[in-house]
Structure 1
Amino acid sequence: MPTDRHRIVLFDLFGVIARHQRPGTLEKMAARCHSPLDAFTTAYWTHRPSYDAGRHTASSYWTDVLHALSHPADTDTIEELRLTDIDSWSRVDEDMITYVRTLRDRARVALLSNIPADHADAFLAAQPWLNDLDHVAFSGRIGTAKPDPAAFRHCVATLHAAPADFLFVDDREENVRAAQAVGMNGHVFDSRAELAPVVDAWLPCR
């Protein structure tokens, strides 16, 4: 089957190919910090954008979270929280991985994910199939995160393509709209079953 090297299917990771955070993890980390869940959750997400975009290291991020909770930011606590956090985002959807890999017979396939650099290192080590994709852009490594237009422009420049060559697939509408604003095609992901015909319609006939 011929591959259309001009077409690029650009996937989000979490909520599409990988699972969202493991249930109960925030509760576990809040308990480790002797913090109410709502306070921990607020601190965890408030400081996340800079960590995702590579502007803060893991140590800086967790120090900010712990200081927001008035908890000592000792090395052991930071490392325990860091490893628990990484593990909580490690689950994948094997059916989606299979689907993504089969698409490479028909088009270029790439990934754009909001993920801190240390999480990205662990994910790549555990998921070697990522090395088979045409490009993998992790926010913590490229220094910008969705929905910043720079994240999408990075993919356009790196793959030497035009924005219209991309079909961006993400489970968050704000990210899909941001991709469309830079000229990409976009689709809000719900399931593999509903995605497949959308991709089939966008790609040239088999």
Structure 2
Amino acid sequence: MTSDRRIVLFDLFGVIARHQRPGSLKKMAARCHASTGAFTTAYWACRRPYDAGWSATAYWTAVLRWLSRPVDAATIEELRLIDIDSWSRVDPRMVAYVRSLRGVAEVALLSNIPADHAEAFLAAQPWLHELDHVAFSGRIGAAKPDPAAFRHCVVAMRAAPADFLFVDDREENVRAARAVGLNGHVFTDRDESARAIGAWLRRR
């Protein structure tokens, strides 16, 4: 079932926000007295549960144990703050574009982001509070491409899947959204995506 609603559902990192700050993994690796390669492997191997609801303490304990390093609260907190800062940058042009869409469509966000990162992002980026719905994986307990992440947005917004256009820079996430019934667009840059979004809105 469809309606006349138009909901553009954006990913955050790689679309509105920038990818991780260069050099951050090296900085965190040095804090752990580990090679950048070994740290990067541990960092990403443990990341999905963190995105889906693990606490920062559970995540960083897992990373440090993977690296056979001592686990202590001070190290965890330092790594946590470096990590949050590394993902803190936004693209001002994309923020302005997303805000401008609210005159013609409902605008929502679905991001893979740990709960403590989400709190920091909400505090630093007040424009997020203007959106019609914000879903952070660490808060909803499901991370893309898990179908549950997309179904959360459908249920929370009391909409039909076909009412959504999901915009993400990762093709696997767009495929997962389409499998649930959402429309999907793979983000490459602002201008190309603005054209695709405009075309979808005109067809509604």
TM range (shorter): over 0.9
TM-score (norm 1): 0.96
Identity %: 74
Q: Equivalent residue of 1:110, what SS?
A: strand
Q: What residue is the counterpart of 1:88 in the other structure?
A: 86
The within-5 A match list for 1:114-125 is 114-125=112-123
Q: Equivalent residue of 1:90, what SS?
A: coil
1:184 aligned to 172, 182, 185, which one? 182
Task: For 1:98, give the aligned amino acid.
Answer: A
Q: Equivalent residue of 1:73, what SS?
A: coil
In 2, the alpha carbon distance for the partners of 1:126 and 1:32 equals: 25
Aligned residues: 202
Runs of at least 5 residues in structure 1 that lack an aligned partner in the other structure: none
Q: Equivalent residue of 1:204, what SS?
A: helix
Q: What residue is the counterpart of 1:145 in the other structure?
A: 143
1:5 offset after TM fit, Å? Answer: 6.6
TM-score (norm 2): 0.97
Runs of at least 5 residues in structure 2 that lack an aligned partner in the other structure: none
Q: Is residue 2:66 matched to residue 1:68?
A: yes
Q: Deviations over 1:29-77 (max 9, x none)?
A: 00111101111001000110100000x2100100010011111011111
Q: Equivalent residue of 2:109, what SS?
A: strand
1:101 offset after TM fit, Å? Answer: 0.3
Q: What residue is the counterpart of 2:95 in the other structure?
A: 97
Q: Equivalent residue of 1:97, what SS?
A: helix
In 1, the alpha carbon distance for the partners of 2:198 and 2:60 equals: 43
In 1, the alpha carbon distance for the partners of 2:194 and 2:133 equals: 21
Q: Is residue 2:31 matched to residue 1:36?
A: no
1:204 offset after TM fit, Å? Answer: 2.7
Q: Equivalent residue of 2:5, what SS?
A: strand
1:134 offset after TM fit, Å? Answer: 0.2
CA contact (8 A) 1:10 1:112 kept: yes
In 2, the alpha carbon distance for the partners of 1:18 and 1:89 equals: 8
In 1, the alpha carbon distance for the partners of 2:198 and 2:48 equals: 34
In 2, the alpha carbon distance for the partners of 1:138 and 1:27 equals: 26
Q: Is residue 2:129 matched to residue 1:131?
A: yes
In 2, the alpha carbon distance for the partners of 1:21 and 1:196 equals: 24
